[in-house]
Structure 1
Amino acid sequence: MKIAGVQMDVSLMDKEGNLTRIIEKIKETAAAGASLTVFPECALTGYCFASLEEALPYAESIPGPSTDRLQEVCRELNHSVVVGMLEQAEQGVYNAAVLISPQGVLGSYRKIHLPYLGVDRFALPGDRDFAVYAHPEVNIGLNICYDSAFPESSRIMTIEGADLIVLPTNWPAGAEHVAEHAINTRSMENGIYYCAVNRIGSERGFEFIGKSRITGTAGETLACSRGTHPEI
């Protein structure tokens, strides 16, 4: 299985523009032979919202308009994606990630561990158990960003049968040690593959550090970004 991670900048409150860029990158990675493409946390919306009221118009249901468009692309290309987004809820928003295949939405995850940063200051904590989704090529578990700092989440998904954990993330400056060591450690601890994809750029004073990586079952780095610029 060939996996692509898209380390990209994201425009705050420009869901249509972000979705267009995501679709362009899916076409690029699919043409290069990847069967799964992973995007950063909140790749559809941006992260640094100032209030819940500001974030609410950019949240949507899963399935919803954006996931429907992504499913169309996945069906056309026989491809799968993981994308970070804000999920609409009756009582607020969740910081979510969705796994989409040619057949539709395979599953979604709501971030449980919420730092006091960006939209996580206002988001609801995830209310679902850690779950593993049966992709045709691999069993996939989903986490988001700060979840990776807690080894229990990876262990639970490994016990549930995960071969690969996918982590859309928004690591800011100051998270370098997490980016450089935690992902390899989660792989080594559990004997699983791990794909962590961060964003780059700046947003309302936050600088994002890249350092996306894919790690192997012994904790080795199989691929990693070379800097804080757009990269696949």
Structure 2
Amino acid sequence: MSTKPRRFGIAALQLKLDEADNLELLLHKIQRTKLRYPWIRMVVLSELALRGVGAQHARELPSAEEEAFCRSARELGIWLIPGSMYERCGSAVFNTTPVINPAGEVIARYRKMYPFLPYEKGVTGGDQFVVFDIPEVGRFGVSICYDMWFPETTRALVWLGAEVIIHPTKTDTIDRLDELSIVRSSAAVNQCYFVDVNSAGAQGVGRSIIVGPEGETIHEASVEEEVITFEVDLEKVTQVRERGIKGLGQTLKSFRDGRVDFPQYERGAVSPALEQLGELKVPE
């Protein structure tokens, strides 16, 4: 096991945001955060921070707004995950998170796999997982909000080597407490860091949460605006995965070594039980 430190400073910005054009506010907050915390190497914003909900806000990417985020990352020398934005691609609209490196380059765009249907109308789900490497630090994965309710998405990112999951969220509903439990369990069963960044104000109920690879809460935010700064220690991820959580369950090794054929993943599989649930629609 490597003994070289792999620590990495992150700022998660839980901002009070309106359902409006927030670009200048976001750029200001990013710059102010880096100036106040110069040790920070990545800034993460919440889902749809740029304009809020509505497929009518979709733009083809790259867009002028995305390029503004790229300039900010380049000027500040940071990795930037600017939440997500609606991307128009032909006749489809995706909920997309760009990954921007310190040179101001978009190195990946992750399209939310599970739009919050039937409420997130007009949005198509993506089908490509995104992981990216930060040299001499480790591998990061990206998911968005409702994706984590499908545990296969997080496990797939970890299968691809992710040690930290960056997870922009926009939750303004009563189920935020349930989401906090999902974040903790996702981090524990996958032995990874989970960085769940929600919005506050008109866009969300706050309560962002940062969880470590033993399921430990590093920080749980209030409902107000907060700049959450912390370090991830990826050597701890390695240690927990090798030795087990609290020296006990070595979950990923057991999953790797298992010989179970899960029936739900067989090609063309149909579940009579799930078929009985009926159409996906707004409850009446």
Establish whether TM, by shorter chain, passes 0.5.
yes
- Which one of the candidate residues 221, 224, 231 is aligned to 2:226? 231
Measured on the aligned residues, the alpha-carbon RMSD in Å equals 1.6
Paired residue for 2:25? 21
Contact kept in structure 2, 1:140 and 1:163, CA below 8 Å: yes
Secondary structure at the residue paired with 1:97? Answer: strand
Percent of residue pairs identical? 28
1:43 is displaced (CA, Å) by 0.8
Paired residue for 1:41? 47
1:117 is displaced (CA, Å) by 6.0
CA distance in 1, matches of 2:146, 2:65: 25
Contact kept in structure 2, 1:179 and 1:211, CA below 8 Å: no
CA distance in 2, matches of 1:117, 1:23: 32
Where has structure 1 moved over 3 Å in runs of 4 or more?
A: none
Paired residue for 1:99? 99
Paired residue for 2:133? 134
Paired residue for 1:89? 89
Secondary structure at the residue paired with 1:76? Answer: helix
Give unmatched runs, 5+ long, in structure 1: none
Question: How high is the TM-score relative to the length of structure 1?
Answer: 0.87
CA distance in 1, matches of 2:23, 2:165: 23
Q: 1:190 is aligned with what amino acid?
A: N
- Which one of the candidate residues 207, 211, 214 is aligned to 1:211? 207
Question: How high is the TM-score relative to the length of structure 2?
Answer: 0.72
CA distance in 2, matches of 1:109, 1:178: 24
Q: Does 1:8 align with 2:15?
A: yes
CA distance in 2, matches of 1:68, 1:92: 21
Q: Does 1:222 align with 2:222?
A: no
CA distance in 2, matches of 1:109, 1:124: 13
Secondary structure at the residue paired with 1:108? Answer: strand
Q: Deviations over 1:66-105 (max 9, x none)?
A: 1211111111111011121111211131111111112311
Larger radius of gyration: 2
CA distance in 2, matches of 1:46, 1:71: 20
Q: 1:8 is aligned with what amino acid?
A: L
CA distance in 2, matches of 1:113, 1:24: 31
Q: Deviations over 1:1-26 (max 9, x none)?
A: 11111111333242xxx111111121
Contact kept in structure 1, 2:19 and 2:202, CA below 8 Å: no
CA distance in 1, matches of 2:178, 2:43: 22
Q: Deviations over 1:35-85 (max 9, x none)?
A: 1111111011111x3xx4xx1xx3223332112111111111110111211
Q: Deviations over 1:207-229 (max 9, x none)?
A: x211101111101111221x211
Number of positions where the alignment pairs a residue of Structure 1 with one of Structure 2: 215
Q: 1:114 is aligned with what amino acid?
A: P
